[in-house]
């Protein structure tokens, strides 16, 4: 299913994706920039196998700079922490939206197990 509309909030912290396929129920998902960043499908985050996946932390304040269309199947999101290599396909965005609560819970559990935080590291 291809999105019918994609928008970034004024504060650059939320991506709203509206899906409506032929004969299918419309769905709208609001995806926080932080969740998109920490679950980026890039090799930098996901690695080349599950064992290589990196736990990204400290991204609570990350924002979206720009969206780049990739053909007719995806977008590349440029984040204000300069990460910009993930290709976010329509199925990936749809599944992330549908499973957002479970993804947040899993992420927060991973952070707790690693003794990490969503808060950015502040220099004094």
Q: What is the CATH number of the domain that holds 99?
A: 3.30.2020.30
Summarised one tens digit per residue, pLDDT across range 58-82 is 999 999 999 999 999 999 999 999 9
Domain residues for 39? 3-113
The answer to whether residue 119 sits within a structural domain is: no
The answer to whether residue 48 sits within a structural domain is: yes
The residues, any chain, with a CB within 8 Å of residue 18's CB and separated by 6 or more, are 3, 4, 5, 6, 26, 27, 28
Distance CA(23)–CA(64), nearest Å, equals 32
| Number of domains within the chain | 1
Q: Which pair of tokens denotes residue 30? A: 């609001």
The answer to whether residue 42 sits within a structural domain is: yes
The answer to whether residue 118 sits within a structural domain is: no
The answer to whether residue 121 sits within a structural domain is: no
Q: Which pair of tokens denotes residue 6? A: 């994609």
Summarised one tens digit per residue, pLDDT across range 11-56 is 999 999 999 866 778 999 999 999 999 999 998 898 888 888 889 9
Give this prediction's pTM: 0.92
């Amino acid at each position: 299913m291809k999105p019918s509309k994609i928008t970034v909030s004024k504060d650059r912290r939320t991506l709203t994706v509206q899906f409506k396929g032929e004969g299918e129920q419309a769905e709208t998902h609001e995806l926080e920039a932080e969740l998109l960043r920490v679950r980026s499908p890039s090799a930098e985050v996901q690695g080349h196998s599950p064992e290589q996946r990196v736990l990204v932390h400290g991204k609570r304040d990350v924002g979206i700079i720009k969206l780049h269309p990739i053909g007719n199947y995806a977008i590349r999101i440029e984040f204000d922490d300069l990460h910009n290599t993930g290709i976010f396909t329509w199925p990936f965005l749809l599944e992330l939206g549908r499973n957002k609560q479970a993804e947040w819970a899993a992420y927060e559990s991973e952070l707790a197990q690693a003794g990490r935080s969503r808060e950015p590291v502040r220099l004094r």
